[in-house]
C-alpha cells in the first residue's frame, strides 16, 4: 500500500518553495499585492511593488523585506500549488 502521507511529507519542502516563489508570478501576485497594500503600496501591471506616489519599492525601501516575507508566508498557507499532492 502507498503511504500518501509520507509522499506528502517528502514533497512538502519543494511545494513550500514553489509557493513562496509564486509571489513573483501572475498566479501568486495576489499575495504580493495583499502584503503591499498593508503598508500603503501596491503591485503594478509589471509585477513591481510601488508606493502611493508610483515610485518603485526596491530592496532599499524600509517596507520591502516585510512585504516579501509576509507575501511568501501567506502564499505558503493559502496557495493551491501542490495541494493535490498533500491531500
What does the pLDDT read at residue 51? Answer: 95
For 21-66, what is each residue's pLDDT tens digit?
A: 999 999 999 999 999 999 999 999 999 999 999 999 999 999 999 9
In three-state secondary structure terms, 80 is coil
The whole-angstrom separation of Cα 38 and Cα 40 is 6
Cα(49)–Cα(43) distance, integer angstroms: 4
Average pLDDT over residues 9-14: 86
Q: Which sequence spans correspond to the domains of the chain?
A: 4-86
- Residue-wise pLDDT tens digits, 34-44: 999 999 999 99
3-state class of 13 per DSSP? helix
- The residues near 64 (Cβ < 8 Å, ≥ 6 apart) are 49, 57, 58
Sign of the Cα torsion 6, 7, 13, 18 reads negative
Amino acid at each position: 500500500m502507498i503511504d500518501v502521507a509520507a509522499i506528502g511529507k517528502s514533497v512538502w519542502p519543494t511545494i513550500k518553495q514553489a509557493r513562496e516563489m509564486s509571489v513573483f508570478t501572475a498566479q501568486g501576485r495576489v499575495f504580493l499585492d495583499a502584503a503591499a497594500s498593508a503598508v500603503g503600496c501596491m503591485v503594478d501591471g509589471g509585477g513591481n511593488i510601488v508606493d502611493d506616489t508610483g515610485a518603485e519599492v526596491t530592496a532599499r525601501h524600509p517596507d520591502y523585506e516585510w512585504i516579501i516575507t509576509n507575501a511568501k508566508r501567506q502564499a505558503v498557507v493559502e496557495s493551491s500549488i501542490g495541494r493535490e499532492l498533500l491531500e
